[in-house]
Amino acid sequence: MIMPREKLLKYGASNLRVDELIAILLRTGTPQMNVLKVSEFLYSQMDYSLYKLQHAPLETIKRIKGLGEVKAITLKASLELGVRLYQELVVEKKQVKNPSDIFKMCMDLSFLNQETVRVICVDSKSKVLAIEDITRGTVNASLIHPREVFKPVISYSAVSFAIVHNHPSGDPAPSDADCEITARLKECSRIIGIDMIDHVIIGKGRYYSFTLNKELHGGVSEDVRQESGVRQIAETQDGNREGFGEKNG
């Protein structure tokens, strides 16, 4: 049987399975299991999900048979590199045309296990002036406050802005608190005269857009679908169905 390192040398990294890539990071196994078996066991314990592995506490990984502190740290570091790579790939996205642009720009929030609030400041040509994380807290905290939201918006002389936050549970369906703060921010933006173009909630590989669902600007979307008895959840491919219009020039 060809081992992962030799397979990578012969065929390239893209041809390896996830457990084979993990095995290369682990380097060694145990007297009872070779490194590939340890990797397979670890991956199965995470329900074959890199997302779950990335979110698993260091202590949980350390306790898995065949691992320890050094290997757990190596895994955590490699997964964080993946997150940083993604952030680098999307940094060139400089315009906000529709909800999917916001989702792609902020998908890194899906990797976080704390609820984080982000503000995207936009100019009259839909170009991004700044992206700032304004608050971060526990998974249950309500973190969005108008004072913190409008501080960077006004500082960068933005014509419009979007609010983004994540649901660490992975389900982007808005809570009552999310709906309430969206209405509150909309009213504040009307008074100040700076347009709030969207509030996007990011989950695991999908998102919810208040604008896409016609909840931010009023009305009912013609293509609203129900998912698990809650509001529509926009999958990544749905983002181009509706833009923000030409109000920003």
Q: Tell me the pLDDT of the chain (249 aa) as tens digits.
A: 788 999 999 999 999 999 999 999 999 999 889 999 999 999 999 999 998 898 899 999 999 988 999 999 999 999 999 888 877 766 555 788 889 999 988 988 988 888 999 999 999 989 998 899 998 875 455 568 898 999 999 999 999 999 999 998 899 999 999 999 999 999 999 999 999 999 999 998 899 999 988 766 543 333 333 333 333 444 443 444 456 754 444
Locate the domains of the chain by residue range.
Answer: 4-87, 94-241
Cβ-Cβ contacts under 8 Å for 119 (sequence gap 6 or more): 130, 131, 132, 134, 149, 152, 153, 161, 162, 163, 164
CB atoms closer than 10 angstroms to residue 113: 14
Is the separation of the CB atoms in 203 and 170 below 8 Å? yes
pTM to 2 decimal places: 0.64
Fold of domain 4-87: DNA polymerase; domain 1 (1.10.150)
Task: Select 94-241's CATH number: 3.40.630.30, 3.40.50.10140, 3.40.140.10, 2.30.40.10.
Answer: 3.40.140.10
Separation of alpha carbons 123 and 108, rounded Å: 23
Q: How far is CA 135 from CA 8, 60, 89, 132, 173, in A?
A: 42, 27, 24, 9, 20
Domains 4-87 and 94-241 share a fold: no
Determine the 3-state secondary structure of 112 from DSSP: coil
